[in-house]
Amino acid sequence: MKKIMLFILSVFTMISCDPLVNNKDMGGILSEDQIDISVKSTTEGSNEIVMENYTPGIVPYWDFIINTSLIRKKQQ
């Protein structure tokens, strides 16, 4: 009986806690004029491309369905 009460008390303790939520505003959508990227093919006729983001203060997220990238380069 003591173990059951301890289990129930631990379950109620976990349920009663407020979740930690970080609701920061992500900002608006950037226009084409505000984004500085370059898109290059790795070799002629290849279907592999390299997209380089030079926009300061922006973390890029390219979603290729089969892969993702978060790489950012500094302004040259």
Q: Give the SS3 label for residue 16.
A: helix
For the full predicted model, state whether its pTM sits above 0.85.
no
Do the beta carbons of residue 63 and residue 44 sit within 8 Å?
no
Domain boundaries, given as residue ranges, for the chain: 33-76
pLDDT digits (tens, 9 = 90+) for 17-69: 777 777 777 778 888 898 888 888 888 887 777 888 888 888 777 776 766 66
Query: Sorting pLDDT into bands at 50, 70 and 90, what band is 7?
Result: very high
Structure tokens, 60: 């890029």
pLDDT of residue 3 exceeding 70, the answer is: yes
Which residues on adjacent β-strands are paired with residue 25? none
Write the CA distances from 29 to 6, 49, 60, integer angstroms.
Answer: 50, 24, 13
